[in-house]
Amino acid sequence: MISNIESGQPARGASSGDEQPNRLEMITRGEHVDAVIHPELADRSSVLDIDNVCLWYGDKQALFDINMIIPDGNVTALIGPSGCGKSTLLRCVNRMNDLIDSVRLGGDMRLNGDSIFSPNVDVIALRKRMGMVFQKPNPFPMSIFENVVYPLRIDGERDRNVLEEVCERALRGAALWDEVKDRLHESGLGLSGGQQQRLCIARAIASDPEVLLLDEPCSALDPIATGKIEDLIDELRGDYSILIVTHNMQQASRVSDYTAFMYLGHLIEYGPTVSLFTNPKLKETEDYVMGRFG
Amino acid sequence: MLWLTGGGLVICFLMIVMLLLYVLWQGLTTFWPQPIAQVETIDGRTLLGEAFASDSYDLKFSHLAGQSGVVREELEDLLHPAFQTVVQEVVDSGSLSDRLEMNRPMILRAVATQVKLAPAVQQSRPEKRTAIVSEIEDALNARWDEFVDRLSEEVSSNVGDVSGDSLATAWNAASTAAESALGQLDATEFQRQFSEGDSVLYSVWARDAWTSLAMPVGVPMRRREFRTENYELTNEHFNWVSDFEIKPDGETFPEWATLLERIEGGRFYGFPAELRIDGKATETEPAAIWAAFPELHAECRERWLEGKEIDEIDGGAFNRRRERERLELIEVGHKFGKDSTEYREAQAALQDFERANAAEYQEIRSRIEELHQLNSRYAILMRTVDGQEQEVPLAEIVRAVPANHIDSGEKWSIYLSRWREFLFDNPREANSEGGVYPAIFGTVVMTLLMSIAVVPFGVLAALYLREYAKGGIVVSSVRIAINNLAGVPSIVFGVFGVGFFCYMVGGTIDEVFYAAKTADAGPTYGTGGLFWASLTLALLTLPVVIVATEEALSAVPRSMREGSLACGATKWQTIRRIVLPRALPGIMTGTILAMARGAGEVAPLMLVGAVKLAPHLVVDLHDWSGSFGPVPTGALHPERSFMHLGFHIFDLGFQSQNSEAAKPMVYTTTLLLIGLIAVMNIAAIWLRAQLRKKFQFSQF
């Protein structure tokens, strides 16, 4: 359910003599806060429906009633200060939080209509429909070829032709083909950091995922490699739906179509990137994107 | 602090290096051909042999006991100058009375003992004896100062004598006087003499005072152990000869002194007298004998080896067939009873078999006989150094070494041939000669089997503990149990192996599968053997593998596992494709440690399967009938006992008849065992390095 579609409400500026309470202080006090979602999201087709999602680590709640949709075929960024729950939310999508014993989930997510949190869901099959790229590049200690076709192999694919074709497609898609096409059978660990991350992206798109999850993919890379990854994300837009977590606002503004601002486990504001950055509806958002905190 | 820790490290390192160097030196020099010495002693013996070991000691007056004749004279000649020097020094320093005072209790005690043993006292009535002795003791004590003065005077006056013999004379005189005095007196006279401080008292006293002065006298002397062997003639293997016992120029190296290493009967040291063919002497000059020897000997050895082969291969195959028939008969007997018709039929069948194959059996035996007949034509007559003659058939000689007549090239070839024999031949002479090949083989096969057993179990256990088990009291207890297993003494594993594997499991297997064979020849799997030994040692080394594997598994970064899971892999797929290969170098480390530990353990093996001498190797390419219950194992016979290098070392060093001869073999075998373990470790380390290269642990 999407709540609180506010339209036409002006941004709260320091000059506008406000009576509305500071949302961030309310959150810190433990009060419930409604998210502000821009109207442009109302009629977009969604690849991912996030429906009242809550998450607890033991007794401590980390996500509070997150309600949003991730649009199909676009790049959506999650931004916010450290500890706001954006990575946690991302990891919920492919149930990676299951690896932590004390995690409890509430609400539901739906991938193209199929429930994600339901107890009788086949998590393995679910994960095969998504691709994830992590903060630190984690190529496997195998050859480049084997790295890319890993998702197919674990699915049982043995046909050499199919594997080679997929490998080429994925590496081209990840803008890595030209650099490695002559050394597909060398170890993946021998690549540079940026190349390793592109290899991981190739691996993620090899199985033609419905959604691509990127968890701060550039934070461990140098600026040039970062630029290349950002270009890549740009190219991938349209073919894939991408959900990217980033702590770098400039990156979010460069790369994404839609941005969601989160704080301490709550969704604060969510809208088209251009609007959010140039004309945020909430003062808190404006403070954050201007760099006044976080 | 740095010096303390660094110093500790250096000391440990040095100790290891010194031990290894020592073993290396002793082991490598064992087989070098030594020259054969002929030694003539002053008491008329002549010995022929190799100088084996040498020992320094101090010649003392106590060594005179039990010696007589020429040897005694020689000893006295050596000791008395030393005695004179000691006494001179005592007198010059003016400390004679102090020295005697120091030895006073001992002197008085010694005199009292003499008195008690004197014939006069012994012959008197028992109740009087004690009285006599105590009276005399009192007299001694009262006269001590007087005695010291008198003795000092005598010593000082004698020391000045340049001829040097007079001290010895004085000592001898005192001894003789004392002995005769003690012998001649009757009881009353004895008492009177002692009470009044007469010359008898003085003689006895002086003798013991001289002895106390003589005690510190020591002349450095070297003695050498000569290996003279010829055990069947002399009943001894070695002779110790001190340097003073050797006549001047009594040690020579006769040109044609020869060492014969024989298959049975040990070594023979002597001179070649005749080369005999068909009982007739064909050559009588040593040079000519040696010229003709190599070719004839080589032929004889070839025939002997051929005979052995026929016996083992053809004879062995025949025997095994016969055994099978017999076992079938016994089985029929068990199943149907000895009175049944089936049993009688089976008996008849066995007899038919034996008749039909009698011809084959005869043929095999006659072939072997023929070879032996041919060999028995050739013999060499050897003469020992004291003139005895012994005929030695050429076929019995393994190696003949005219040790003083060979140049260094030939020495090297003998050295290398002895090493070849050591590594590839079977042992002789209750393991003190010959080779250790079966022990090497047994050690390697057992270690391999043990590794094959321990690695899968260890890895699976570690995988479960690390990947699948939920934390909790059960898992913690299992971990504690595993760590404690590492501290259990290895002999306890041996006892467990015998009780559980051999008696329980093996006994059951025997009952079910080998009933006939067990009834006939004793337990097959119900007793120690290769298989149970490997399993026992696998248990022993299990904790090592589990701990190393757990470490390796936990070292695989979480990010890699997450990457795999995010791709949609199941937990098992992740483990199989990512975690295990990445952990493989660590697992190999655990395997290396386990192999090194297992190859060296001896205590449990003594109980579960290692033996002093195994009749066959555990892998027998001529006998493919090995089985474990219903499972055929081909040339591997897991029920056989085997020889093991570690056990061999123990056996050689402490259970040999000829332990002196076995001592160098102990070093050589130790060197070999260390070398073998080093080779196995290096191979495994190389393998691990290859694996590591695949997983370049490079970071961006």
CATH number of the domain within which A257 lies: 3.40.50.300
Q: Report the percentage of chain B scoring pLDDT > 70.
A: 93
Is residue A274 one of the residues assigned to a domain? Answer: yes
- pLDDT of res. B700: 25
Q: Where are the domains of chain B?
A: 27-53+218-279+397-424, 62-203, 284-376, 433-694
pLDDT band at residue B469 using 50, 70 and 90 as cut-offs: confident
Is residue A166 one of the residues assigned to a domain? Answer: yes
Our CA-based measurement puts residue A140 at a distance from the nearest CA of chain B, in whole angstroms, of: 7
Lowest-confidence region among B37-51, B96-110, B258-272, B641-655: B96-110
The yes/no answer to whether this complex scores an ipTM above 0.90 is no
Looking at the structure, do residues A216 and A110 belong to the same domain, yes or no? yes
Is residue A10 one of the residues assigned to a domain? Answer: no
Is residue A227 one of the residues assigned to a domain? Answer: no
Our CA-based measurement puts residue B682 at a distance from the nearest CA of chain A, in whole angstroms, of: 25
Q: Rounded to whole angstroms, what are the CA distances from B32 to B52, B272, B406?
A: 12, 22, 12
pLDDT band at residue B682 using 50, 70 and 90 as cut-offs: confident
Q: Please check whether residue A254 is in contact with residue A232, taking contact to mean a CB–CB distance below 8 angstroms.
A: no
pTM: 0.75
Looking at the structure, do residues A115 and A144 belong to the same domain, yes or no? no
How many cross-chain Cβ pairs, A to B, lie less than 8 Å apart? Answer: 80
Contacts of A93 in chain B (CB under 8 A): none
Domain edge (last residue) among A184, A208, A232: A208
Looking at the structure, do residues A268 and A218 belong to the same domain, yes or no? yes
Amino acid at position B549, single letter:
T
- Give how many domains chain A has, as a whole number: 2
Architecture (CATH level 2) of domain B433-694? Orthogonal Bundle (1.10)
- pLDDT of res. B160: 53
| A219 near B CB under 8 A | no
What is the distance between the alpha carbons of residues B413 and B427, in angstroms, rounded to a whole number? 20
Looking at the structure, do residues A86 and A165 belong to the same domain, yes or no? no
pLDDT band at residue A19 using 50, 70 and 90 as cut-offs: low
- pLDDT of res. B354: 81
User: What is the 3 state secondary structure string of B268-309?
Assistant: EEEEEEEEEECCEEEECCHHHHHHHHHHHHHHHHHHHHHHHH
pLDDT tens, position by position, B515-549 = 877 877 788 888 888 999 999 999 999 999 999 99
Looking at the structure, do residues A52 and A157 belong to the same domain, yes or no? no
Domain edge (last residue) among A165, A183, A208: A208
Sheet containing A266-272: order of strands: A36-37, A266-272, A258-263, A75-79, A241-245, A211-215, A130-133
Smallest Cβ–Cβ distance between A196 and the set B573, B696, B700 belongs to: B700
Is A154 within 8 Å of B563 when comparing Cβ atoms?
no
Is A124 within 8 Å of B694 when comparing Cβ atoms?
no
3-state class (DSSP) for residue A108: strand
| B123 near A CB under 8 A | no
Our CA-based measurement puts residue B699 at a distance from the nearest CA of chain A, in whole angstroms, of: 8
Is residue A177 one of the residues assigned to a domain? Answer: yes
Q: Report the percentage of chain A scoring pLDDT > 70.
A: 93
Examine the pLDDT at A13 and tell me if it is beyond 50.
Answer: no
pLDDT tens, position by position, B616-668 = 888 888 778 888 888 888 888 888 889 999 999 888 888 877 777 788 888 88
Domain span at residue A166 reads: 135-208
Is residue A182 one of the residues assigned to a domain? Answer: yes
Looking at the structure, do residues A98 and A216 belong to the same domain, yes or no? yes
3-state class (DSSP) for residue B208: helix
Looking at the structure, do residues A94 and A72 belong to the same domain, yes or no? yes
- pLDDT of res. B171: 67
Q: What is the mean pLDDT of residues A29-35?
A: 80
pLDDT band at residue B698 using 50, 70 and 90 as cut-offs: very low
Lowest-confidence region among A2-11, A141-150, A151-160, A181-190: A2-11
Pairing of β B626-628 and β B378-383: unpaired
Looking at the structure, do residues A98 and A118 belong to the same domain, yes or no? yes
Is residue A35 one of the residues assigned to a domain? Answer: yes
Is B562 within 8 Å of A99 when comparing Cβ atoms?
yes
Smallest Cβ–Cβ distance between A141 and the set B569, B570, B694 belongs to: B694
Contacts of B695 in chain A (CB under 8 A): 141, 187, 189
Looking at the structure, do residues A107 and A144 belong to the same domain, yes or no? no
Reported as half-sphere exposure (CB side, CA atoms, 13 A), residue B403 has a value of: 25
Looking at the structure, do residues A111 and A163 belong to the same domain, yes or no? no
What is the distance between the alpha carbons of residues B331 and B354, in angstroms, rounded to a whole number? 18
Looking at the structure, do residues A204 and A270 belong to the same domain, yes or no? no
Which of B475, B582, B700 is the mutation pick for testing A, counting most A CBs within 10 A?
B700
Looking at the structure, do residues A216 and A107 belong to the same domain, yes or no? yes
Is residue A125 one of the residues assigned to a domain? Answer: yes
Q: Which of B432 and A89 is assigned the larger pLDDT? A: A89
